[in-house]
Amino acid sequence: MSQTIFSRIIKGEIPCHKVYEDQHVLAFLDVSPLAPGHTLVIPKEEKATLDQLSDESAAAVGRVLPRICRAVMKATNTTAYNLLQNNGPAAHQAVFHVHFHIIPKPSESNGLGIHWPATKLDHAEGTKLANAIAAAIVKA
Ligand code: DGP
């Protein structure tokens, strides 16, 4: 994977407002926040999308995410927030290094706005899809 701006932040070549760092993970404020406290949590491993991430990095991110969410809530005095993780340009990913957005939702008009075009699950199709996904997980 080619290096992104986040690799340069990890190396300290570009400054950031760091909120957390350990051997595998870095967290810092998003430079274009949707709400105050909008934080990015990234693995130090250079992978573009979540499906490419090693179990070790995934576990390291998962271990600290709730703690960082609690800290963001406390520091911004919010009780609601969204966790967003974009994969691929079609899914609104702009920086091709895995990252989790923690986005406080202080009010209806601030934070992440969501377009959620829900449909109704067809149960016959659902059975097929669930079986296909379950079979793929065994091989993943
Ligand atoms: P995404 O669309 O999920 O790939 O979001 C990428 C986010 O990264 C976007 O909200 C802006 C943020 N970002 C991009 N470049 C920088 C940077 O140089 N520093 C910081 N702190 N954030 C950045």
What is the per-residue pLDDT across 65-122, written as a single tens digit (0 to 9) for each? 999 999 999 999 999 999 999 999 999 999 999 999 999 999 999 999 999 999 999 9
What separation in Å is there between the alpha carbon of 6 and the centre of ligand 1?
8
pTM, 2 dp:
0.97
The pLDDT assigned to 1 comes to: 62
**Domain regions of the chain by residue span:** 5-115
Euclidean distance between CA atoms 82 and 98, whole angstroms: 17
Active site residues: 99
pLDDT at 139 over 70: yes
> Of the residues 17, 40, 101, which should be mutated to test ligand 1's pocket, given the most ligand atoms within 8 Å of the CB?
40
What separation in Å is there between the alpha carbon of 107 and the centre of ligand 1?
22
CATH entry, 5-115, from 3.30.428.10, 3.40.50.300, 2.60.40.10, 1.25.60.10 = 3.30.428.10
Euclidean distance between CA atoms 115 and 93, whole angstroms: 16
Euclidean distance between CA atoms 138 and 3, whole angstroms: 31
Written as six digits, the tokens of 133 are: 């996904």
| Run of H or E including 41 | strand 39-43
Q: Could you tell me which residues are beta bridge partners of residue 88?
A: none
